[in-house]
Amino acid sequence: MSAPDDFIPAARPIIGAEERAAVDAVLASGMLAQGAEVAAFESEFADSLVAGRPTVAVNSGTSGLHLGLLAAGIGPGDEVVVPSFTFAATANSVALTGATPVFADIESDTFTLDPAAVASVLTERTAGIMPVHLYGQPADMHGLGELASRHGLALFEDAAQAHGATLDGRPVGSFGLFGVFSLYPTKNMTSGEGGMVSTDGDLHRTLRLLRNQGMERQYHNEIVGFNARMTDLHAAIGRVQLTKVAEWTGLRRRNAARFDAELRGVAIPPVRPGATHVYHQYTIRVTDDRDGFARALRDEYGIGSGVYYPVPNHRLPSFDRTEHLPETERAAADVLSLPVHPSLTDSELDRIVAAVNALAGAGG
């Protein structure tokens, strides 16, 4: 068994001297709330990751989804189709508007929303479709976009895990009425906590109002809104991280390519044709005792891993639905995410490959 100080964690957030200096500069300025740093972060994020589409910084990815749906007019009586195989924030954001999340199954290989499954659950109350670019893999935005267009539905994007992912050269976050990125500490880049919403036109202005108590000018509240602002402290961290995320993404993709080439006895994640996968997670399938496999990785080899997600949303007590989603259930039983973060050393990659292959061989 590896010594504790030799443990390879599933995630390893990178915060360096530049981030600390940026925070110190904001603290020294005395301007801590939403201000010039936030405005600069929005502009730079737009230019770097969503082809210049305007963005709105908020205090979390969940807030971004919630406010985006409200700005789009989603509310009581509406249904929005979402995957059940994802973090609960996607469905929660729909429920928080008073609308009903309707769960559809995923594709068997990409873990993302299946257009055919979505088509099967549409009703006269369906107002929108919100796929998740899970693990950094773009969803089938062409198939889902065609379906939304044919039925007159809005298309939204949960891009929480997909900073810099593209489909046929187009960045995620630029396909739907809005796209939302998370800036949580373990994401491909972070602001400490926060989210970014990409959108334009009237929706962009409405989002800006909703995040700031419904006002553009102080004390002139136009609508009922929230305090979902990002602080300049968080934006300062995000601006630094934004200068590094392209390099980190390259390292994630390099690490994933090595796993693709060298892992044996487990199902490796395919990449959608035309897609740039940014590997927020490198997720394999272990069909024989996945949980035992994860324990052995940890206890025998000192390697962390994660199960994202062991309980599908429709099975959670907060929703408690009865939908039959076989691919979702199969994924929840099989998936295991290996460390793929950019700070992995070559020797750590060697250990991960050797451990997975040894366990897969023993299980076979």
Measured torsion, CA atoms of residues 288, 289, 290, 294, in degrees rounded to the nearest 10:
-130
Work out the average pLDDT over 319-343.
97
Q: Give ∠ CA 50-55-110 in degrees, rounded to 5.
A: 45
Around Cβ 123, how many Cβ atoms within 10 Å?
A: 9
What is the domain partition of the chain in residue ranges? Answer: 17-242, 245-363
Q: What's residue 168's pLDDT?
A: 98
User: In 169-305, which ranges are continuous DSSP H helix?
Assistant: 201-211, 232-242, 245-262, 290-301
Q: Hey, is 132 helix, strand or coil?
A: strand
Q: What's residue 172's pLDDT?
A: 98
Q: What's residue 364's pLDDT?
A: 43
**What is the chain's alpha carbon radius of gyration, rounded to the nearest angstrom?**
21
| Residues across the chain | 364
Contacts of 203 (CB under 8 A, 6+ apart): 68, 71, 72, 177, 178
pLDDT tens-digit series, residues 150-179 = 999 999 999 999 999 999 999 999 999 999
Q: Please report, as a single letter, which amino acid is at residue 138.
A: P
- Please return the burial class of 209, using the count of CB atoms within 10 Å of its CB with bins 0-12, 13-18 and 19+: buried
pTM score, whole prediction: 0.96
pLDDT above 70 coverage of the chain, percent: 98
List C-alpha distances in Å: 328 to 79, 139, 240, 297: 20, 15, 37, 24
Any bridge partners for residue 50, and if so which? none
Q: What's residue 328's pLDDT?
A: 98
Answer for the pair 180, 196: CB distance below 8 angstroms, yes or no: yes
C-alpha to C-alpha distance for 301 and 358, rounded to whole angstroms: 10
Q: How confident is the model at residue 362 (pLDDT cuts 50, 70, 90)?
A: low
- Domain 245-363 = CATH 3.90.1150.10: yes
Contacts of 252 (CB under 8 A, 6+ apart): 136, 188, 278, 279, 280, 340, 341, 342
Q: What's residue 287's pLDDT?
A: 93
Q: What's residue 327's pLDDT?
A: 98
Q: Please report, as a single letter, which amino acid is at residue 135.
A: Y
Are 17-242 and 245-363 in the same CATH fold? no
Which of 4-8, 47-51, 107-111, 160-164 has the least mean pLDDT? 4-8
pLDDT tens-digit series, residues 64-79 = 999 999 999 999 999 9
Contacts of 50 (CB under 8 A, 6+ apart): 171, 173, 174, 179, 198
Q: What's residue 164's pLDDT?
A: 98
List C-alpha distances in Å: 200 to 170, 206, 215: 16, 10, 18
pLDDT above 90 coverage of the chain, percent: 96
Q: What's residue 3's pLDDT?
A: 45
C-alpha to C-alpha distance for 159 and 155, rounded to whole angstroms: 13
Sign of the torsion angle spanned by Cα atoms 278, 349, 8, 246: negative
Q: What's residue 363's pLDDT?
A: 55
Q: Give ∠ CA 53-56-62 in degrees, rounded to 5.
A: 115
Is the pLDDT assigned to residue 347 strictly greater than 90? yes
Is the pLDDT assigned to residue 139 strictly greater than 60? yes
Is the pLDDT assigned to residue 2 strictly greater than 70? no
CATH architecture of 17-242: 3-Layer(aba) Sandwich (3.40)
pLDDT tens-digit series, residues 80-130 = 999 999 999 999 999 999 999 999 999 999 999 999 999 999 999 999 999
Structure tokens at 129: 């479709």
Is the pLDDT assigned to residue 1 strictly greater than 50? no
Q: Hey, is 191 helix, strand or coil?
A: coil
pLDDT tens-digit series, residues 30-46 = 989 989 999 999 999 99
